[in-house]
Amino acid sequence: MSSITLHPNAKKPGKVIKQTFPVLEMTCAACAVSVESMLKTATGVENASVNFANQTALIEYDTTIVKPADLQNVVRSIGYDLVVDEDDPQAVKEEAQRKHYEEVKSRTIWSTVLSIPVVAIGMFFMDMPYGNYISLVLTAPVVFYFGRSFFVHAWKQARFGKANMDTLVALSTGIAFLFSAFNTFFPEFWHSRGIHAHVYFEAAAVVVAFISLGKLLEERAKSSTGTAIKKLMGLQPKTVRVSMDGVEMEIPIARVKVGSVILVRPGEKIPVDGIVTSGNSFVDESMISGEPVAVEKRAGEKVFAGTINQKGSFQIEALKVGGDTILAQIIKMVQEAQGSKAPVQKLVDKIAGIFVPIVIGISILTFITWMALGGDNAFTHALLTSVTVLVIACPCALGLATPTAIMVGVGKGAENNILIKDAESLELAHKVNAIILDKTGTITEGKPMVTNLVWLEGESAATLYQNTLYTIEGQSEHPLAQAIVDRLKEKNVQFIQLSGFESITGKGVEAKTSTETFYLGNQKLMEEKNIELAEEVMQKSVYWQSEAKTVVFFANQRKVLASIAIADKIKETSRSAIQALQNKGIDVYMLTGDNQHTAAAVAKQVGLLHYKAEVLPSEKAEFVKQLQAEGKVVAMVGDGINDSHALAQADVSIAMGKGSDIAMDVAKMTLVTSDLNAIPKALNLSTKTVMGIRQNLFWAFIYNVIGIPLAAGVLFPVNGFLLDPMIAGAAMALSSVSVVGNSLRLKLAKI
């Protein structure tokens, strides 16, 4: 996007900031284009990007030249609104969307109810006394009240020299109604010329009803967009406990300053970025790193807002508060990534943009030609044929083409554990040629598990010591201990009495029974306690580590009793799913915050050719941008908060259903299952849906291609044939039936 030229009297850029604002009253992609173009030309605006799907505008502007209120006035000047200076702009937007949805729903119901008797009269009771007058009375509110938005939006587009679906609906229904009203009140005008005064009320009413239904389906999809930003903000507690002059007190988080000493208790969310001053605990940092193993925190180590303290308690000194925290930065990045995407014109709107002027042009040309060459009945035939051209071009099937295919496609996805909440991503997914997979929770199970537990002296040692091992790990706070406890629960184990228990920081634990002392921990602990590690034990250890497993030893004072390997298990379906994607010619990448050894081992096991280790959340999003810059259509698959920025940046975003709520809200597709084979299925579904849309558009247009020339009277010079309006109506109905029938075929397709 190019920068605009600033007003000649304006100051040079002083303080340029990026800010996201909700936009109200947008009803189509063309609206977003209009808002964006107006903002880009405003004085002091460096750049602007309006996202129709999110109903937001990301504006880069100079605060010394222009204020948010000025931007609001610019947008209001073309009939839309910008939400500024609100305590909760997101809530204002959601309320506006809810009201608009209810309005469209009401309009669809009432227009359908009123259209049914009009169709019945027009098709079966044409000779009914006062039938035309009854149809007129019923059709008028459908067209001019329940369908008024089509006329309003068509006028808005016309002011900027644009045309869309609303233009065609407004023109065709408006002219059909006015022409029919004329024929109702003045039928003699046609009777005196030997022509039946036909009315088109049913065509006008049905078109409004059907198109309203299409709009309702679109609004329903939009209104279900998640509240990701709100949920992210909810990760920060509202109040905190601080220590001031030796006294503990609870204060609002807004009052926390840099340097404040905050008490964090077990199970609490950490409110700010800070450094531990006293105490120790394990902290779940999966929202930052994506890794499932909690990290031990001691005095002098950093902690981050939004992460969760587990069992211990500690005090922290606040280093970054408010908008400077890592959590706040993640929120900002997600907002910008969501808002920075250029609006995508819907396929139907693009076609309508060309189709509408062509149809109007043909109608005018038809009128002129008949006036010039029509002889005695020139005006009669000119008026009849030009109006018939507009009527036969009514976009009933065109309005149904996309929503019906999308509706069936979404339903088919749900049957296969694929939840799709953005039609745009369903349309785009078939073009994907690069897929990025997170490791933890996506390729792997997302929870540490014992993969190997070897008792060096066989089952006799297991019988003798497994209760002791179970008891020790049951008392340990270390996250890996839970994996061992879960493994031993499968055996007939029970707790025993310990006479002593001591945690040895960074190494393991020491425990005592009435008769023996036991050690459980890493190789360093064994060496420190002079416990011999046999060559067999070391060989196993080296081998397990090469498979990216964490190795733990269980020993008494004399020797190692058992060696245990713990790993985040790879899903059984990961390899086959990755292979299926690569066979499609798609480049598959794995990005992980884990170490290089683990990443290499996982990549080898699942057959991946491309991977990157020790990647931060922001770097994931940068990698997505890098691939997009290379011209690739990128899909991102993730399950954690740390993936949310990359998910928002990707062309197609897919969340694992067992992941975080944030990931699922940001993503446009969610896999209910943890089976990665659902990803190739989602891409196949997209291919078949897009194929269905294209076929529907063919059926929507084919009768126009044939019918419009006939309506214009091309056969009249040959055999005196002029298209009967009833045939035109039947063709329109057949086109709609063909479209719906073709969409329903997708239900039977294999994906």
Task: State both tokens at 343.
Answer: 């609006």
Looking only at Cα atoms, what is the longest distance across the chain? 121
DSSP percent split of the chain into helix, strand, coil, nearest 5: 55, 20, 30
Beta bridge partners of 262: 242, 316
Per the listing, tokens 């009527």 go with 391
Q: Are 521 and 511 in contact (CB under 8 A)?
A: no
With residue 272 as reference, give the H or E element that holds it. Answer: none
Q: Are 661 and 231 in contact (CB under 8 A)?
A: yes
Closest CA to 271 of 313, 305, 224, 321: 305
Per the listing, tokens 């993503």 go with 667
Per the listing, tokens 């500024």 go with 84
- CA angle at residue 204 from 111 to 711, to 5 degrees? 160
CA distance readout (Å), 170 to 32, 143, 176, 192:
20, 9, 10, 31
Query: What is the sign of the dihedral through the CA atoms of 671, 676, 679 and 682?
Result: negative
Instruction: Let me know if 438 is a catalytic residue.
Output: yes
Q: Are 229 and 150 in contact (CB under 8 A)?
A: no
Task: State both tokens at 424.
Answer: 């745009």
Task: State both tokens at 402.
Answer: 């996309």
Closest CA to 169 of 394, 354, 469: 394
Cβ neighbours, 10 Å, residue 134: 16
Q: How far apart are CA 679 and CA 285, in angstroms?
A: 27
Q: How far apart are CA 333 and CA 644, in angstroms?
A: 9
> Residue 458 burial (CB < 10 Å; 0-12/13-18/19+)?
exposed
β-sheet with 295-297: strand ranges across: 295-297, 281-284, 308-309
Q: Are 686 and 406 in contact (CB under 8 A)?
A: no
418-420 vs 273-279, strand pairing mode: unpaired
Cβ neighbours, 10 Å, residue 301: 14
Task: State both tokens at 210.
Answer: 């059907």
56-62 vs 45-51, strand pairing mode: antiparallel
The number of CA neighbours under 13 Å toward the Cβ of 277 is 15
pLDDT of residue 225: 40
Task: State both tokens at 555.
Answer: 């020993």
- Please, where are the H alpha helices in 547-593? 574-583
Closest CA to 89 of 30, 136, 137, 20: 20
Q: How far apart are CA 506 and CA 546, in angstroms?
A: 21
Q: Residue 203 — φ and ψ, nearest 5°?
A: -65, -45
Rounded to 10 degrees, the C-alpha dihedral 264/268/269/270 comes to 10
Q: What stretches of 389-493 adopt beta strand conformation (E)?
A: 418-420, 434-438, 444-455
Task: State both tokens at 406.
Answer: 């999308």
Q: Is 205 helix (H, G, I), strand (E, B) or coil?
A: helix
Cβ neighbours, 10 Å, residue 361: 10
According to the 3-state scheme, what is the secondary structure of 591-652?
ECCCCHHHHHHHHHHHCCCEEECCCCHHHHHHHHHHHHHCCCCEEEEECCHHHHHHHHHCCE
Q: How far apart are CA 322 and CA 413, in angstroms?
A: 40
Beta bridge partners of 610: 589
Q: What's 750's DSSP letter?
A: -
Task: State both tokens at 348.
Answer: 């139907």
Q: Which residues contact 519 (CB under 8 A, 6 or more apart)?
A: 508, 509, 510, 511, 525, 526, 529, 531, 553, 554, 555, 556, 557
560-570 vs 444-455, strand pairing mode: antiparallel
The number of CA neighbours under 13 Å toward the Cβ of 293 is 15
Low-confidence ranges of the chain (pLDDT < 50): 1-13, 221-222, 224-228, 337-345
Q: Are 112 and 141 in contact (CB under 8 A)?
A: no
pLDDT tens-digit series, residues 684-718: 999 998 888 888 888 877 777 888 888 888 888 88
314-320 vs 295-297, strand pairing mode: unpaired
Task: State both tokens at 363.
Answer: 């109608």
The number of CA neighbours under 13 Å toward the Cβ of 296 is 12
pLDDT of residue 368: 93
Q: How far apart are CA 548 and CA 595, in angstroms?
A: 9
Which position among 438, 568, 643, 665 bears the catalytic label?
A: 438
> Residue 545 burial (CB < 10 Å; 0-12/13-18/19+)?
middle
